[in-house]
Amino acid sequence: MTAYTATVTIRPKRGVLDPEAETTQQALSRLGFDVNALRSADRFEIDFDAESSEAATERAEEMAERLLANPTIHDYDVVVTDR
Amino acid sequence: MIAVVQFGGSNCDRDAVRALDHVGFDARRVWHEDGLPAETDGIVLPGGFSYGDYLRAGAMAARSSVMAEIRQQVEDGTPVLGVCNGAQIGCEARLTPGAFTTNRSARFQCEHVHLRVENANTPWTHAYEAGEVISLPIAHGEGRFEIAEETLSELNAENRVLFRYCNADGAVTDAANPNGSTDNIAGVIGERDTTAVLMPHPERATFPELAENGTDGRAILEGFAVADP
């Protein structure tokens, strides 16, 4: 078994409204920043052991599907690194 | 006995029990870790902020152990009603399609809304006619209904939309949509019509004493008697 860190990034699907991101962008504008667009995402860093990097990726994807993301409104990506 | 399932952070559980009692049901609060009593013949997932809305509203409660029991009851045709946070939990648990997420305004909204009854042929809407306009209070920050386009087509084809936000005349307009919900959808049913979720609060519009709220919610709660197998 090898120790891995899976970084799971969850973001709204393209076309799904993100009012929090819009509000944040407006706040940046009020502070004088010239911003064309702002997208926000949640990032989870998960440490666990797995047989291989492929197995670790598969496990992290399952975590995203079953809890971390809501597939109706989110896309996600997974990056696995050795620890 | 209708089990009103209480999670840490539920805050409409007492209201639901009181309203159901007023309508004539035996309703009790059931702590989620205690599991459903054997005599359960109806389930309410009440409003509130279960698990502090951690991750997403309803996400944690939807993965709690009592959900396996609730899922079984759903399959058996036991009437299950999710209100507000209960609706978020129902969608997160995939008892009903779609998801409820941050309001278009990015604000918590507490106001009265008009709803058009879309499908009157369910236990929850049996007292109404399709197209009828009712009024209920809403109180939510994450009530914007989102759904994949193909699932929405299925939902419409199967007539599984219960209520749409509308104006006083029953017109489904963008101005009457309080939270930016897709197609103004305020409530839907699951694969069986005995399972329903909605963001507005029927239990807050049941007592005549709360005159401002009206009593249009009463008939929705009476759905438990209609759906009783």
Quote the CA–CA distance of B201 and B137 in Å, as a whole number. 6
What residues contact residue B197 under an 8 Å CB cut-off, 6+ apart?
Answer: B45, B81, B82, B83, B86, B87, B90, B91, B95, B96, B187, B188, B190
pLDDT at A39: 94
Instruction: Name the pLDDT band for B164 (thresholds 50, 70, 90).
Output: very high
Tell me the torsion sign for CA atoms B164, B169, B172, B175.
Answer: negative
Q: CA B100 from chain center: how many Å?
A: 11
Residue B160 near residue B119, CB atoms below 8 Å:
yes
Taken in order of first residue, the domains within chain A and their CATH numbers are 2-82 (3.30.1280.10)
Residue B11 sits in a domain of what CATH number? 3.40.50.880
pLDDT greater than 70 at residue B86: yes
Query: Taking residues B176-200, what's their average pLDDT?
Result: 98
Nearest to B147 among A17, A23, A72 (CB): A72
Give the predicted TM-score (pTM) of the model: 0.95
pLDDT at B212: 80
Q: Does the beta-carbon distance from B56 to A22 stay under 8 Å?
A: no
Residue B84 annotated among the catalytic residues of the structure? yes
pLDDT tens digit string along A13-43?
998 999 999 999 999 999 999 999 999 999 9
Q: Where in the sequence is the domain holding B200, given as residue range(s)?
A: 2-227
Contacts of A23 in chain B (CB under 8 A): 106
Nearest to B63 among A23, A67, A72 (CB): A67
pLDDT greater than 70 at residue B156: yes
Query: Taking residues B91-100, what's their average pLDDT?
Result: 98
Nearest to B146 among A23, A67, A72 (CB): A72
Tracing tokens 């005159």 back to the chain, one arrives at B211
DSSP, collapsed to helix, strand or coil, labels residue A23 as: helix
Contacts of A73 in chain B (CB under 8 A): 99, 101, 146
pLDDT tens digit string along B125-136?
999 999 999 999
pLDDT at B211: 72
Quote the CA–CA distance of B11 and B18 in Å, as a whole number. 13
How many domains in chain B?
Answer: 1
> Tell me, what amino acid is at A17?
L
**In Å, how far is B88's CA from the nearest CA of chain A?**
12
**In Å, how far is B50's CA from the nearest CA of chain A?**
16
Interface of B with A (CB under 8 A): 55-56, 59, 63, 91-92, 98-99, 101-106, 144, 146-148, 151, 180
Residue tagged active-site, from B32, B114, B140, B201: B201
Radius of gyration of chain A, Cα coordinates, nearest whole angstrom: 16
- Cβ-Cβ contacts under 8 Å between A and B: the total is 36
pLDDT greater than 70 at residue B228: no
| Region of poorest pLDDT, from A21-30, B21-30, B107-116, B202-211 | B202-211
Quote the CA–CA distance of B103 and B165 in Å, as a whole number. 14
Quote the CA–CA distance of B218 and B8 in Å, as a whole number. 26
What are the beta bridge partners of residue B145? Answer: B100
Q: Does the beta-carbon distance from B105 to A20 stay under 8 Å?
A: no
**In Å, how far is B209's CA from the nearest CA of chain A?**
37
Q: What is the DSSP letter of B29?
A: E
Query: Taking residues B194-214, what's their average pLDDT?
Result: 92
**Which secondary-structure segment (H or E) carries B124?**
none
What are the beta bridge partners of residue A56? Answer: none
Quote the CA–CA distance of B16 and A16 in Å, as a whole number. 33
